[in-house]
A and B are shown apart, each in its own frame.
Chain A
C-alpha cells in the first residue's frame, strides 16, 4: 500500500516537473536549491565537465590559471555576501585575503627559516585557521559598519588596506619584506604534496581539482546561507534597515555576522590563492586587489553566488586573454612597454568592462544569463 502510493507520488512529481516546470506540489520541492529539472541537469553537467574534461584535456598552463580563478571565486562569494547581500560596501577585501594568506603561510612554513613557520602543512588545518583568523578580524572591524554606511564605510574599509600594507611591509619576520616575500602556504594532505608533480597527476592538475572541490563546497554553503533566514535578514538590512529593526531583525548583529562570514571566505580564498601561486609578496595586497574583487562582484552580478564565480573566472582570465590578442590582431604589440601593448590593454579592458556593465547590465553576467533564459522561456513571443 505505502509502496504503491510512494511510486504514484514520485511519477506524478516528475511528470509535473517536465511538463510544467513552475508547478510544485510541496514546499520542500519549491525550496530546493535546484528546483527545476533544467537547473539540475545543467549544474550537474557543468560540474562533471569541470571535473573530467578540463583537468585532463587542457594544458597545465591553463589549469594553473583556472585554479587561481576558482580560488578567487571563493573570495568573490565572500565579498558578495557582505556587499551584494548585506549591502555593506567594503573595499577592504585585500586586507582579509592577506590575513588568510599569512596565517596559512606561517602555519605551514618550515620552522627555523628566515620567516616564521610552524610546520603544520596539513591543508584542511591551515585553511580553516586562515578562515577563522580572518573571520575574527572581520568581526572586529564590523562595528564600523554599524556606525557608517555607503561611501563612508567604503572609505573607512579602504583605510584597512593601507594599514595592512604598512604592517605587512614592516613585519619582515612574517612576510619576508617587500620585494622578497616568502613561500606561500604548503598544500599537503596525507603525505602528498598537492603542488608537485606526482605519479598520476601533475601539480597543476591536483591544485585545480583541489580548488574545484573547495569552491563547490563553499558555494553550496553560501547558497544555503543566502536562501535561509540569515540571507533574508541580510537583504532586509540592505534594503531598509529601520524597517528591518522594527520587524525584529537586529541590524547590528547581522552586519557583524555578514562581515565575519565574508572575511572567513576571504581568508580561505587568500590562503588557497597563494598556495596556488606558491609565493606571497606583501606589496600584492594593495588597493588594486580589492578593486579586482569589487569588479568580480559587479561584473558577475551583485547578490548572486553563481555570478560571483563567473565574475571571478572572467577577471582572472582577462589578462591572459589579452595576451593572446597580438596573434589575432597584428597591430597590437606584445611588448610590455608599448602604450597599446597587451599588458596595458588588459588594464584598459578592465576599466572599460566595469563602466559598461554598470551602465548597460547592472545585474552583471548573471543578468545577461537571466535575459537569455527569459528569451527562451517566452519563445516565440518577445516577452
Chain B
C-alpha cells in the first residue's frame, strides 16, 4: 500500500459516561474505498464528526495528508480537502442546486468582499470559471433538470445526490459518505452505487463509506471495518468481515454466531 491519506490512531471520544469512540485505529490508502459498518450507536457517525472537526476527541491522533486535524475548526479541515455528506440531508434548502454546489467551491473562490462589491473584474471572472466546474458536476451526477430549483422542493433521492455534488465541488482529497443510500428505493440505490464507483474510478477520490445496506457495502468496498459500542471488532476485506464470528454476534446475537460456525 502507498502512503495512507488518512491515519486514525487510537482515538477516544466520550460524552460524559458514554464512550462513543473507544480506541479506534485505521488507515485509508490513496484511491481506497473504506467502509465502516456497525449497528446503530456503534460510533460510526461520531468518527465522521471527529474527522470533520465537529467533535474534538479526548485522546488520539488524526493525521490527514500529513496534517494533524485534532483541534482544528471544521472550516479549516474542509479547506485541507476533506468533504462529507450527512446522514440527514444538510443542504441549504432555500438556495438553488447551482448555489448549493457553488458553496462547495467556497474555498476555491479566492476573491473577498471588496471585489464582490465591485463585481466586474475579479469576482465575475472567478464566478464564471467556477460555474463551469460546477456545471461539470451537474453533468456528472445527472442533475441538469434540477439545476435552478431550490433544493427544498426536490425529491429526497435527488437531494442526496445534490449533497454528494456539493462535496465533490470541493475537489476533496478524501470524501466521507454518511449513509448515502439510507431510505432510498432499489433504483435510487443502484444509481448512487454507480456514482460512487464513478467517483472512485474516474475522479480517483478515496472514500470512507458508512452504510447499513450490506449488499452495497460488500459489493463496493475495498476494505471494511466493523464496529460495536465504539470499539472496532474486525478490519479486513468484505469476505473476511462477513465470515467473522464477532461481527455476526454483534448483528444477530450470540446464538446465531454459534449456529453459523458449527
Contact = CB atoms under 8 A, between A and B. Distances in A.
A75 B141 CA distance: 42
B92 A246 contact: no
Contacts of B126: 229
B127 to A, nearest CB: 6
A248 B170 contact: yes
A367 B95 CA distance: 16
A229 B109 contact: yes
Q: How large is the interface on A (under 10, 10 to 19, 20 to 34, 35 or more residues)?
A: 20 to 34
Contact of B170 (A232, A240, A242, A247): A247
Interface stretch (A101-109, A189-197, A220-228): A220-228
B124 interface: yes
B43 interface: no
Interface in B103-141: 103-104, 106-107, 109, 111-113, 115-119, 123-124, 126-128, 131-132, 135
A247 B78 contact: yes
B231 interface: no
A245 B73 contact: yes
B127 A31 contact: yes
Interface in A202-234: 221, 224-225, 227-233
Given A248-B78, A248-B170, A27 B95 contact: no
A255 B105 CA distance: 19
B124 A235 contact: no
A134 to B, nearest CB: 16
A230 B116 contact: yes
A28 B124 contact: yes
A228 B128 contact: no
B99 interface: yes
Contact of B90 (A238, A240, A250): A240
B94 interface: yes
B152 to A, nearest CB: 9
A249 B106 contact: yes
Contacts of A91: none
A231 to B, nearest CB: 8
Contacts of B93: 239
Tell which of B52, B79, B95, B119 has the most Cβ of chain A within 10 Å. Answer: B119
A225 B112 CA distance: 10
A236 interface: yes
Nearest to B109: A229
Interface in A291-344: 303
B74 A245 contact: yes
Contacts of B117: 221, 224-225
A227 B124 CA distance: 10
Contacts of B21: none
Contacts of B54: 242, 245-246
Contact of A249 (B75, B118, B132, B167): B75
B166 interface: yes
Given A31-B124, A235-B95, A236-B103, A245 B75 contact: yes
B195 interface: no
A224 B103 contact: no
B102 interface: yes
B113 A225 contact: yes
B83 interface: yes
Given A230-B113, A235-B99, A247-B170, 10 more contacts: A224-B116, A228-B116, A230-B112, A232-B106, A239-B95, A242-B90, A243-B91, A245-B75, A246-B90, A247-B78
Interface of B: 52-54, 73-75, 78-79, 83-84, 86, 90-95, 99, 102-104, 106-107, 109, 111-113, 115-119, 123-124, 126-128, 131-132, 135, 166-167, 170
Q: Which 9 A-B pairs have the closest CB atoms?
A: A248-B78, A228-B116, A243-B90, A224-B119, A239-B92, A245-B74, A248-B107, A250-B75, A27-B131
